[in-house]
Structure 1
């Protein structure tokens, strides 16, 4: 009897370990199938379960708006802006100066200026229409007259370099990816750029994934230095369910990671905050600050709900993404 009971116990334990192993393998496999995305000059692979919910970009301080419009609407939009600037009566507002590429049906640049508070400033509006109907529009103001010629030359260069890019295209030439578009540029000239992608996880609406490359600024402190200075880990104390932190090099990029599991607001479950970040260099397009943040249980409005992902699933999701962050080879 004892021998038979022992055999049964052994079978149960063996089956339990097999179940745990199979469950973990299944959790790992959840995110094995991926899709590659280009953001700025970098690439990242996202699990097929991750759905793109938003993008942001800034190139040479330009906020590039991507719109689909007919050639007639494209021309009408330009003429309306010219009319507004030409008919401006306020002495301190921007007034029309000139339109560059006036004979070009696919690109135009409107220059305006104003004189206020003893200073002259310039405004620049650019319009680029591509063959598939997408148009890229930028509008910026307050350029000083000291560097205006260099700035205008830079805008003209941008108009000649920007083109349409379908979401699934990974360009082979060096340059900057943004929503529906691409700017061919080797990145060797110092300039400011930023690109971001925002994802939600299919069937898990409170799982948010954000990744960004940024050359605008550099944090005064690294990720871990900021966390320690805030004292947040000590404040949470015994409520902390899991915490792992340290330096981590990803594909030649020196960064730091902080992986934390916290109680949900109602304390019926846990929520995760997983972050990996590099410091980068200000103005260096080839070495931006990169930040990956994955949150589970994020419902908006500052409320944290219990995660619908287990610890193993959340970790599998993080690992599936973070290990793929890399500079696009042509850059």
Structure 2
């Protein structure tokens, strides 16, 4: 506990630390991805983070970001295409808008799959997925998963009946490109 408390620092919400660590609301926990924590139950460091960004005016549009240093898969997103294609083929609204490798600064292996399908709200919507470092997952190259949903509420408690997704497919792709093409790890983040 003392090890953690010595590395805990206050941080302004717009302050970006220059050293490796974990940022959270008004705080920063310093430490590199490969550093061990004395007395920890695990002999290695394991980190994951999950965040959801919901459009305030269009509650059926949201982006989910997930990172995990402890996941490494045998196959990439595109190599698992059989399961995705099977899902899309059984859905009247299922279609691939775009798929393929993606070039992102500072990330060696990234792929995306953009599809339309029938959402939980029973409307045609969009489900886009970007997966990076799936075969490299480690503390320095964590698995990164970014998804966008259009036509589905992020919280089932606030779900209401909708007739169509808030964004058109083209608008959803535009939002997706604006977000994912600017995603990059901060230098020295790991």
Q: For this structure pair, what is the TM-score category when the shorter chain's length is used for normalisation?
A: 0.7 to 0.9
The partner residue of 1:185 within 24, 28, 31 is: 31
Are 2:182 and 1:313 aligned?
no
The counterpart of 1:322, out of the listed 180, 184, 187, is: 180
Determine which structure has more spread, i.e. the larger CA radius of gyration: 1
**CA distance 1:258–1:183, shift in 2 (3 Å):** same
Residues 119, 152 of structure 2: 8 Å contact kept: no
Given that residues 207 and 298 in structure 1 are in contact (C-alpha distance below 8 angstroms), is that contact kept between their aligned partners in structure 2? Answer: yes
Gaps of 5+ in 1: 1-154
* Secondary structure, counterpart of 1:167 in structure 2: coil
Please state whether the residue corresponding to 2:19 is helix, strand or coil: coil
Q: Deviations over 1:186-228 (max 9, x none)?
A: 3233511112221111210111111121113223432233342
For residues 135 and 50 of structure 2, the distance between their equivalents in structure 1, rounded to whole angstroms, comes to: 15
Query: Partner of 1:201 in structure 2?
Result: 55
Q: CA RMSD in A?
A: 2.6
Offset at residue 323 of structure 1 (A): 1.1
Runs of 4+ in structure 1 over 6 Å off = none
**Which residue of structure 1 lines up, in the alignment, with residue 39 of structure 2?**
none
Q: Distance in 1 between matches of 2:129 and 2:113?
A: 5
Matched position secondary structure for 1:204: coil
Which has more helix, going by share of residues?
Answer: 1
In structure 1, the partner of 2:112 is: 257
**Runs of at least 5 residues in structure 2 that lack an aligned partner in the other structure:** 36-43
Distance, in Å, in 2 between the alignment partners of 1:266 and 1:210 is 18
Scaled by the length of structure 1, what TM-score is found?
0.47
**Alpha-carbon offset, residue 235 of structure 1:** 2.1
CA distance in 2 between partners of 1:271 and 1:244 (Å): 15
Q: How many residues align?
A: 174
Match of 1:177, SS?
strand
Q: Normalising by structure 2, what TM-score?
A: 0.78
Q: Deviations over 1:40-85 (max 9, x none)?
A: xxxxxxxxxxxxxxxxxxxxxxxxxxxxxxxxxxxxxxxxxxxxxx
Q: What is the aligned counterpart of 1:212 among 66, 71, 81?
A: 66
